[in-house]
Amino acid sequence: MAWYEGTYACGHEGRVNIIGPQKDRGYKKERAFSRLCPDCWQKERDEKIKKSNVESAELSKEYGFPDLTGTEKQTAWANTIRMELYKEINDKLDRIRESQKEKFSFQRPDTWDTVYVLPDELPDMVDTGIQEHTEAKFWIEHRSLKEILTVFYDDMMERKKEESSPIMVAIAPSIFSADFSLSALIFPTGYVSFLVRVEMVSYLSMDFS
């Protein structure tokens, strides 16, 4: 190992280990000492993170985002992740609207398939995802835009699937006084609020006693 001493940009003395050809070491040394020393760099980084966490927490309250569950350190970090992703999504949505594109697209990190979402669907997809996922751990584990959009997209498609699935309803035969055949169908919310169709073989009178 070859150690070189010098003065960092913050004024603190220190030394760095430089490897590689001799002809490159002068440049590497100059570049290394043009930065803050490790201690000052860490301190500056911690201050930036703290400031960002405070700003994100304030914006989360202003935007009406749900509180996150977890440790104090987890929720502070997750709040910042959530806010940064939210801003990034909205920036992309603004550009799509300006360019008048018909669809928003992203690539799934699990399959690398390209997914398309209508611009009008995206805000609801994101808002619902933010309201449903309130664990700090979730946001820490899904820090990239592609990851969070994939989860929100899958959630949206699952909701659509549930809404489009008819629910069969059975009615007890004992309430009728004659033989009959019955079919009852409730359509999903958003299409028809409630519909029941009864087919009878013969005239029926209902006995609710």
- Summarised one tens digit per residue, pLDDT across range 134-161 is 999 999 999 999 999 999 999 999 999 8
pLDDT in tens, 108-129: 999 999 999 998 899 999 999 9
> By mean pLDDT, which of 78-82, 84-88, 125-129, 195-199 is the weakest?
195-199
Q: Flag the least confident range among 5-9, 87-91, 164-168.
A: 164-168
Query: What is the secondary structure of the chain as a DSSP string?
Result: --EEEEE-TTS-EEEEE--S-HHHHHHHHHHHTTS--HHHHHHHHHHHHHHHHHHHHHHHHHHTPPPPBS-HHHHHHHHHHHHHHHHHHHHHHHHHHHHT-S-EEEE-TTT--EEEE-TTTHHHHHHHHHHH--BHHHHHH--SHHHHHHHHHHHHHHHHHHHHS-EE----GGGBSS------EEPPTTT-S-------SS---B---
